[in-house]
Amino acid sequence: MFRTIDRISDACGRLSAWMFFAVGFLITAEVIARYVFTAPTPWTEEVSQALQIWATYLAAACVLRNRDLIVIEFFTQRMGPGRRRLAESFSLAVVLAFALVATVYGAVIVAESVAQNRHTSTMLGLPRWLTETAIPLGFGLLTVQAAVELVRLWVREAGR
């Protein structure tokens, strides 16, 4: 089961990388269209924002899995292995708790947007739930990955 979760996180990470690439491409194309051809497009900014939102939230679980989060190692480097494991457990528990709360509240926000038929106030007028869904989905994946990493931390240490 852990491998399946890891694969999902890695796949979301790869998808996020491609989304960020697409954002860069779209912005570059918009700059060329606007300043070279003086023909700006009305949709590029909103689509780029939506892709960036999705890419950011989808990447979170992969970033945690690969331990690429910002870490302040000043104190943990000076700790013994037992205290270091406790400190890492505490930080994973905090990530898990925050991600779980964000998942629940994000789902509530998405449900409200669908019920109220909210749209963006731009020319495209995209439904808000298109971008808001990234929050409960991304944080849901992060919740599961944090739980896996917490269990893995203790199982790995117990197996030594």
Summarised one tens digit per residue, pLDDT across range 17-26 is 999 999 999 9
The DSSP code for 119 is: B
Query: Average pLDDT of the chain?
Result: 92
What integer pLDDT is reported at residue 74 of this predicted model? 74
Helix 2-35 to helix 134-158 angle (10° resolution) is 140
69 backbone dihedrals φ, ψ, rounded to 5°: -70, 160
% of the chain at pLDDT higher than 70: 97
% of the chain at pLDDT higher than 90: 75
| Residue entry with tokens 């491409």 | 25
Partners of 18 in beta bridges: none
Query: Residue 152: enclosing H or E segment and its boundaries?
Result: helix 134-158
In angstroms, the CA 47 to CA 42 distance is 10
What integer pLDDT is reported at residue 160 of this predicted model? 47
What integer pLDDT is reported at residue 42 of this predicted model? 87
Partners of 119 in beta bridges: 127
pLDDT tens sequence across 114-148: 999 999 988 889 999 999 999 999 999 999 999 99
Residues 22-36: what's their mean pLDDT?
95
Helix (H, G, I), strand (E, B) or coil at 76: helix
Say if residue 72's pLDDT is above 80.
no
Say if residue 70's pLDDT is above 80.
no
The pTM assigned to this predicted structure is 0.88
In angstroms, the CA 92 to CA 67 distance is 11
Cβ proximity of 23 and 52 under 8 Å: yes
In angstroms, the CA 50 to CA 132 distance is 9
Cα-atom radius of gyration of the chain, to the nearest Å? 20
What integer pLDDT is reported at residue 15 of this predicted model? 97
